[in-house]
Amino acid sequence: MNNFTFHSPTESVFGKDTQKQTGKLIKQYGGGKVLVVYGGGSAERSGLIKDVTDALEEENISYAILKGVRPNPTDDKVYEGIALAVREGVNFILAVGGGSVIDTAKAIAMGAVYPGDFWDFFKGSASPVAAIPVGVVLTIPAAGSEGSPNSVITRIDGLHKLSCRCQLTRPRFAILNPELTMTLPWEQTAYGITDMLCHIFERYFSNTTAQLVNAYSEAIMREVMDHALSLKINPEDYEARADVMWAGTLAHNGLCGVGKEEDWATHRMEHEVSAIYDVPHGAGLACIAPAWMTFVARKNPGMVWKFAINVMSVNPEGRDTDHIIEEGIALLKDFYHDLGLTTSLTELIGKEPDIDALVKSLEGNMGKTLGFYVPLSMDDCREIYKLAL
Ligand code: NZQ
Ligand code: ZN
C-alpha cells in the first residue's frame, strides 16, 4: 500500500425526510443567501423543490434559483449561474439533483469568486484558490459528485468534456434520502449503477497491493450488483435503494482508492463518447468497461482474474486463467444486458462511432498515454474503441 492522506469531510445526512433539514444545515455552514440549482424539472414534479425552499424559508434564508441544468452539463449554464450568483451576492450554493446539477454548482462556486474565465480551471491553466461553499440534496446515486472534489463540464465550443478536481468544492453536506430516488426512470437507475461500479473499477484495477481496500471494494461491487437486479423487479425496495445510494458515495469519495495508484482510462475514453455523441455517461461506460478489461487482461491479467473470481463468482476449479477472465467479462456483459443496457457503442449511438475523431479528441485533451494498470498508447485506445463497437 502506498502512503496516503484520506480526508473526505462531506457530512452525509442519510434517510427518510432528511431534505427537511436543508435550511438548518445551510445555516450551520454559514449560508445566508443561497443559489438553488436544479435540472430539467424532476425535482419540481416530485415536490422536492417545495420541500427544500420551505426548509430555507423556515430558517429565514433567502434564495435565488437557477434551473434547467441538462445531463452532460455544458458551460453556458455555468456562465449563467456565475452571473446570477454575483448579481445576487450569494454565499452558499445548493445543488438539488444528480451529477450534472452538482458539477454545475461546483463550477459556479469556483467561477463566481474568480476574476477570469472559470474554464481556466478545467483546461488546467489556473488553479482555484477560493470557492463558494456547496451543499447537495441528491436525487440519483450515480456520479458520486456529492462526496467528490470533481466537477465535469462540457465546453460547447469544440465539445471538450473535462474534469476539474478542487478540494474546495467538496460538498459541505450531502442529504441522501433513498426515497427521492424512487421516481427515477429505470434506465437512469441502471446508468447510475454502471457508473458507481466503474468508479470502483478505476481504483480496483491497480498494480498497488492493498488487500483490505480490495476486499471491501469487492464487497461493495457484489452488493450493488445484487441490489441492481432486485431493484429491477421492485423499484420501491427501500433497503435496496438505501444500499445503492450509500454505495454511490463510497464508490467515489476516495475510500476505495486509498493507498492505490488509480487508473481512470475507462472514464477518460467514455467522456469523449458522451461529449461527442451526448449519450448518458453510465450507458457509455457499459460499452467501454468490458472492452477495456478485455484489452488490459492480455497484458496484465492479475486483477481481471481476481475480479472474475471474487466479484463475478467464476468458479476457478480446473480452468486456466484465460478462460476464467473470459467468463468473468462475459458475465459482466450479461449483467449490463440484464439491466437493459447495451455493451455495443454502435447500438448505443445508432451508427458506428467515428473512432478517429474520438482518439483525436482524447489525445488533445489527455496527451499521448492514458491510465496506469496498463499504460495505454493512443493506438491501444483505438483498439479498445474497436472492441466496444
Ligand atoms: O434534469 P432532471 O429533470 O432532474 O432529470 C434528471 C436527468 O435527466 C434525471 N433525474 C435525476 N434524479 C431524478 C431524475 N428523474 C426522476 N427522479 C429523480 N429522482 O436523471 C437524469 C440524469 O441526471 P444526471 O445528473 O445527468 O445524472 P448523473 O448523476 O448520472 O450525472 C452524470 C454527469 O456526472 C458526470 C458525468 O460525466 C455526467 O456529466 N460525472 C461526474 C463525476 C464527479 N463530479 O465526480 C464523476 C463521474 O465519473 C461522472 O463523470
Ligand atoms: Zn463516472
Ligand 2 centroid to residue 165 C-alpha, Å: 14
CA of 144 to the centre of ligand 2 (A): 8
Determine the residue of 44, 281, 288 to mutate for testing ligand 1's pocket, defined as the one with the most ligand atoms within 8 A of the Cβ atom. Answer: 281
Q: How far is the CA of 80 from the centre of ligand 1 (A)?
A: 19
Work out which ligand 1 atom sits closest to the CA atom of 181: 19
Per-residue pLDDT, 77: 98
Ligand 1 neighbourhood includes 99 CB (under 6 angstroms): yes
For residue 208, the CA-to-ligand 1 centroid distance in Å is 31
How many angstroms separate the CA atoms of 220 and 37, rounded?
30
Note the pLDDT of residue 296: 98
Nearest CA to ligand 1 atom 28: 99
Supply 309's cell numbers: 473470481
Atom of ligand 1 lying closest to residue 182 CA: 19
Does the beta carbon of 145 sit less than 6 angstroms from any atom of ligand 1?
yes
Q: What is the DSSP string of 64-103?
A: EEE--PPSS-BHHHHHHHHHHHHHHT-SEEEEEESHHHHH
Sign of dihedral through CA atoms 41, 43, 46, 48?
negative
Q: What is the pLDDT of residue 183?
A: 96
Q: How many CB atoms lie within 10 A of CB 317?
A: 6
- Verify whether ligand 1 is closer than 6 Å to residue 194 (CB atom): no
Tell how strand 150-155 and strand 160-165 pair up. antiparallel
What separation, in Å, do the N-terminal and C-terminal C-alpha atoms of the chain show?
Answer: 36
Closest atom of ligand 1 to CA, residue 267: 48
Cβ density class 152-177: b for 16+ within 10 Å, e for less: bbbbeeebbbbbbebebbbbbbbbbb
3-state SS, residue 361: helix
CA neighbours closer than 13 Å in the CB half-sphere of residue 340: 14
The protein residue with its alpha carbon nearest to ligand 1, atom 41, reads 143
d(CA 267, CA 252): 13
| Distance (Å) from CA 98 to ligand 1 centroid | 4
Q: Dig out the grid coordinates for 104 from the structure.
A: 454545475
Q: Which ligand is nearest to the CA of 289?
A: 2
177 lines ligand 1 (CB under 6 A): no
How far from 204 is each of 2, 135, 164, CA to CA, in Å? 14, 29, 22
- Averages of pLDDT over runs of 10 residues in the chain (389 residues) are 96 98 98 98 97 98 98 97 98 98 98 98 97 98 97 94 96 98 97 98 97 98 96 95 98 97 98 96 98 98 98 97 98 98 98 98 96 98 98
d(CA 298, CA 246): 34
Please tell me the distance between residue 234's alpha carbon and the centre of ligand 2 in angstroms. 25
What pLDDT does 136 receive? 98
| Ligand 1 site-directed mutation target among 38, 78, 103, 279, most atoms within 8 Å of CB | 103
Nearest ligand 1 atom to the CA of 42 is: 3
Distances (CA, A) of 102 to 16, 39, 125: 21, 10, 23
